[in-house]
Amino acid sequence: MSKLDRFASNRPRLLGLAYRMLGEVSEAEDVLQDAYLRWERSESVEVPEAWLTKVVANLCLTRLTSARVRREQYVGTWLPEPVAVEDGRLGPLETVEQRESLSMGMLVLLERLTPPERAAFVLREAFGHSHREVAGILDVEESHARQLYHRAREHVGEPRKRFTTSPEQNQRIVDGFLAAARRGDVAALEQMLAEDVVSWADGGGKAPAAAHPVQGRVKVARLVVGLAHHRRAAGFELVSATVNGEPAYLVWDGGTLVAATVPEFGPDGLIVALLAVTNPDKLTHAAAPRM
């Protein structure tokens, strides 16, 4: 197998690793480009998959340091870049851990971690690496790799919910949510929202977005109806979709995607958060090709 073919066969898994580490597809693709150049120059690699994993993980660690500075200077709320994953571009989604680690909500939680903690968590949770393998990838002692992982679990574990509702049930809720938003039914929306629901919006200073989180069932329901029926929204199309493997909805203005919103569900099936991205720079990968 040629070097190009070997890299191509590993690409979805490596892109999935880099995206989970960085929360941005564009940054993840840049990492893979750098990794491929190093792969082309490499010699006598005994286990290509392990070598590539280590290179990508460490390139991401370097980028996370500068990314933290950029996100502190970001205009408004920073949210991960949403992506459609039905084509397998980010590797397999066969386990609960693989799917959960790709969710928008989890990617937001991972922002709390230090870069090494994030790497240890992603490598263990999403890709099933042993603590020994994680230690080898990060060039640390196995005991330190365990500490990194356990600290990461502590930081994301408490707010993290193993949802009892099925994806099909969540999809039905999203469909009902969209129908209520279209007809301006605030009362119906309130019934689908948790009392302390929070709406976050990321416009990046380049598109309309609430400057601060909106919290509370009544306020969020009114916000959704207000946005759906705003004069600027005339002609917009609200479409049910799957984003980051989760039920979501997209807002289209003709052939242009202008927003992607991913609801987070609590164990009782109520929506506990709305994560809305309107920054046009982040919407390139949010939609599967329209037929």
Does the fold of domain 167-282 match that of domain 3-157?
Answer: no
Q: Using CA atoms of 124, 15, 249, 160 in order, give the dihedral in degrees to the nearest 10.
A: 10
State the CATH class of domain 3-157.
mainly alpha
pLDDT score of 290 more than 80: no
The CB density around residue 154, as the number of other CB atoms within 10 Å, is 10
Three-state DSSP class for 201?
strand
% of the chain beyond a pLDDT of 90: 76
pLDDT score of 94 more than 80: yes
Amino acid of residue 78:
W
Q: How far apart are CA 244 and CA 86, in angstroms?
A: 9
Q: Of 33-37, 77-81, 104-108, 287-291, which gets the smallest average pLDDT?
A: 287-291
Supply 188's token pair.
């119906």
Q: How far apart are CA 69 and CA 201, in angstroms?
A: 20
pLDDT digits (tens, 9 = 90+) for 50-74: 999 999 999 999 999 888 888 888 9
pLDDT digits (tens, 9 = 90+) for 245-280: 999 999 999 999 999 999 999 888 899 999 999 999
pLDDT digits (tens, 9 = 90+) for 204-249: 999 989 889 999 999 999 999 999 888 777 889 999 999 999 999 9
Q: How far apart are CA 189 and CA 177, in angstroms?
A: 6
- For residue 145, the model assigns a pLDDT of 98
pLDDT digits (tens, 9 = 90+) for 109-132: 999 999 999 999 999 999 999 999
DSSP collapsed to 3 states, 146-183: HHHHHHHHHHHHCCCCCCCCCHHHHHHHHHHHHHHHHH
Chain center to CA of 6: 27
User: Is-contact 53 103, C-beta < 8 A?
Assistant: no
DSSP β-ladder status, 256-265 and 246-253: antiparallel
User: Is-contact 59 22, C-beta < 8 A?
Assistant: no
% of the chain beyond a pLDDT of 70: 96
Supply 71's token pair.
């996100």
Backbone angles phi, psi at 92, to 5 degrees: -70, 150
CA dist 87 → 188, 242, 266 (Å): 34, 12, 27
Q: Parse the chain into domains and list their residue ranges.
A: 3-157, 167-282
CATH 3.10.450.50 for domain 167-282, yes or no, is yes
